[in-house]
Amino acid sequence: MTKRVTVKTIQKFKDENEKFSVLTAYDYSTAKYLDEAGIDIILIGDSLAMVALGYETTHSIGMNEMSIFTKAVAKGAERAMVVTDMPFLSYHTDIPTAVKNCGEMVKCGANAVKIEGFSEYILNVIKRLVETGIPVMGHLGFTPQFINTLGGYKIQGKTKDTAEEILRQAKELEKAGVFSIVLEMVPQDSAKYITQNLTVPTISCGAGKYCDAQVLVSDDVFGKFSDFKPKFARKYGDMKSLIYNCAKQFNDDVKSGKFPSDDEIF
């Protein structure tokens, strides 16, 4: 049986200076291929609201949808750690609700959850989750669920003072028990400074090469989502053209009578 990546493996990566990889997935077969490719953490990001469901922001996705996608991904991932992004309002109202909702994701097959932001309340949520046996990934810098208060897609931690503030928050998250922290849209030098001053690994989402890991949205990596492309994302394939060409050929073959052939009938 394949050995699962756990919070211990993730910490070992940091301690031994070994980089690790994180990609998002929202369905069974994608999770399976990412797992086979050696991706260490598969994140059911709430980005799925935008890239898979076509919503404008991540706010519209709820527990029901995240549960369905978590179950699908968990079935496909054998080695990778499966982390579910907790949707907007699922952990913000009170600690018992947060524990219940995060626990639901574990029941759906998640090995850990990710929660965005920083406050005294969030620290208490993290402590309670860890006490319950639910590992937590933190998320600082640009936090999409706060887009309305942050005033749009804005780089965070650009000045010495704001970088210090992110480091302060990261240290508090670390004390509360997170096993890793996503740093989103933070300048590389600030992310380097934050990473060097933490014990837990940082995961860069547009925060440069000095973080301990890198995360991207798989639809950006595959070249599938084309509404916009973040500056920090790298496109490794052209799935949009692949899907278009396959669909077009199928359409042509059906209409010209080339499909099905004699080999494709009973």
Residues in touch with ligand KIV (CB under 6 A): 24, 43, 45-47, 85, 182, 205, 215, 217
Minimum Å gap between C-beta 240 and ligand KIV is 19
Task: Measure the CA–CA gap between 64 and 69, rounded to whole angstroms.
Answer: 9
- Is 184 tagged catalytic? yes
Which of residues 236 and 244 has its CB atom nearest to ligand KIV in the complex?
Answer: 236
Residue among 50 and 129 whose Cβ is closer to ligand KIV: 50
Q: Which residue bears the tokens 């709820």?
A: 62
Rounded to 5 degrees, φ, ψ at 259 are -120, 130
Closest CB to ligand KIV among residues 198, 217 = 217
What pairing do the DSSP bridges indicate for beta strands 20-24 and 213-216? parallel
What minimum distance in Å lies between the beta carbon of 176 and ligand KIV?
A: 19
How far apart CA 213 and CA 19 sit, in angstroms, is 5
**Of 23 and 198, CB closest to ligand KIV:** 23
**CB of residue 246 to ligand KIV, shortest distance in Å:** 26
The tally of CA atoms less than 13 A away on the side-chain side of residue 11 is 10
Q: Which single residue brings its beta carbon nearest to ligand KIV?
A: 45
**Shortest Å distance, C-beta 221 to ligand KIV:** 11
Pair 113, 136: CB distance under 8 Å: yes
The smaller minimum CB distance to ligand KIV, of residues 117 and 160, is found at 117
Distance CA 84, CA 95 (A): 18
**Is 38 in contact with 19 (CB distance < 8 Å)?**
no
> E-strand spans in the chain?
20-24, 41-44, 81-85, 112-116, 136-141, 180-184, 202-205, 213-216
State the nearest-atom distance from the C-beta of 48 to ligand KIV, in Å. Answer: 7
Hey, which residues are catalytic here? 184
